Amino acid sequence: METLYTLEKEVGRGSYGVVFEGHIAKTGQKVAIKRLPCKDPECIELYLQELWAMRATAKNHVNVIALHSCLLQTGRRSLKPLRKGKLPLHLVESVLKGSVGQERVSQFNTQSRAKSMSRLQDRTNTLASNSPYPSTPKRPSNRSRKRLSEREDEQTGCLRCSALWLVMEYCDGGDLNQYLLSRPPDAHGNQSVVQQLSSAVAFLHNLGLIHRDLKPDNVLVSVTPKGPIFKVADFGLSKMSEGVVDGNLTRKHFSSICGSDFYMAPEVWGGLTYTAQADIFSLGVMFWAVLERLTFLEEGTTQEQLGAYVCKGRWLMPLGEALWENADLQLCIPMKSKRAGPLPAPPGPAMCGLLFDMLAANPDSRPVADQLESRVRGALKEDSR
């Protein structure tokens, strides 16, 4: 292995994988390491989509999370870098067949299995005994034990990849929700969010990449001396569009219903085919929420989330759902209801006009990503006069 990594602690956990804070052993550079267990074809397909998307973006835009490398864990002690431009064929085969290849069962007992682990895990630091995360076993103390383990792996005859490890740049500011809601409102900072994210989505769409799950949770923040940098992340639901003519993604249609309720476009809510313009709607929801500090409570939690909505009596309805039910619904931008302070100044007329266009029920009425970036700059400049 060309580069070894150490894991320090778990920093995030979702439906599909676990994210650790780690370091590149040779340089000490801090990185985020995401472990994606390859348990079933559906999960594997999402992982390969995320890997493919992150490779396509490479490290070419400051507002898109960067991928350093991908590692394949093919056995309990076998971990190797995946070559650039390559996808693991056995994982592709699993997706196509709809089943994960079986491993031949070894004759080693449960205790032996528990002691075996990947080379990456061997390099991790053991956590304190009072940590909420399980401690990491130590590296075997001698070479003979290491050679024995390698022979054991050969005898088990592993036929599939047990996990993918994505090594990415580390963002120390958390996600957009955590970062903004833990600080007083800042009109200049909010405008920076809007400008940076419009630039990121323009970059992605120019590559033919549709994110399909844009929301504050999927925007990470890197804190720098010059100010926060906001980075689009989590490409598990993204799609690379083929056959795009002159960068026009509005001609490519998708049908899978995916995304998060409060950010999904009306056409996605309605189960219609949709285009990259669904991303523009999701971005419009985020921009409105950021500029006016609109929040809602996630069902079953007390955690505030940034997001715009429509009030239906005591209930909050996602904008996309409301517009699907009534395409002629008139949105109130800026929000006219009284809310508890402190609040930022409402967006100016030019930015409000742009938000109306981004949140249009008809996707063809929304600006495309290239236009959006320039219109954001123009609207902010006009409103500052």
Walk along the chain (385 residues) and give the pLDDT tens digit of each residue: 345 788 888 888 876 788 999 998 888 899 999 988 887 777 777 788 888 888 888 778 999 999 988 888 877 667 777 777 666 666 776 666 666 654 433 333 334 333 433 434 433 333 333 333 333 333 334 433 333 333 433 343 344 567 888 899 999 999 999 999 999 989 999 999 999 999 999 999 999 999 999 999 999 999 999 999 999 999 888 988 764 545 465 567 888 888 899 999 999 999 999 999 999 999 999 999 999 999 998 777 788 999 999 988 888 999 999 999 999 999 999 987 656 667 888 899 999 999 999 999 999 999 999 999 999 999 999 999 8
Whole-Å CA distances, 308 to 63, 141, 205, 212, 273: 23, 56, 24, 18, 24
Provide the residue ranges of all domains of the chain, joining segments of one domain with +: 5-169, 176-383
Structure tokens at 186: 């800042």
Q: Is the link from the previous residue into 88 a cis peptide, with omega within 30 of 0?
A: no
Nearby residues of 263 by Cβ (< 8 Å), 6 or more positions away: 213, 214, 215, 281, 282, 285, 286, 307, 318, 320
- Write down the number of H helices and E strands in the chain: 12, 14
Please name the fold of domain 5-169: Phosphorylase Kinase; domain 1 (3.30.200)
Rounded to whole angstroms, the Cα distance separating 377 from 384 reads 11
Annotated catalytic residue 370: no
Among the listed residues 175, 213, 217, 234, the single catalytic one is 213
CATH of 176-383, one of 3.60.10.10, 1.10.10.60, 1.10.510.10, 3.30.70.260: 1.10.510.10
Tell me if 116 sits within 8 A of 75, measured CB to CB. no
* Other beta carbons within 10 Å of 220: 25
Rounded to whole angstroms, the Cα distance separating 172 from 296 reads 25
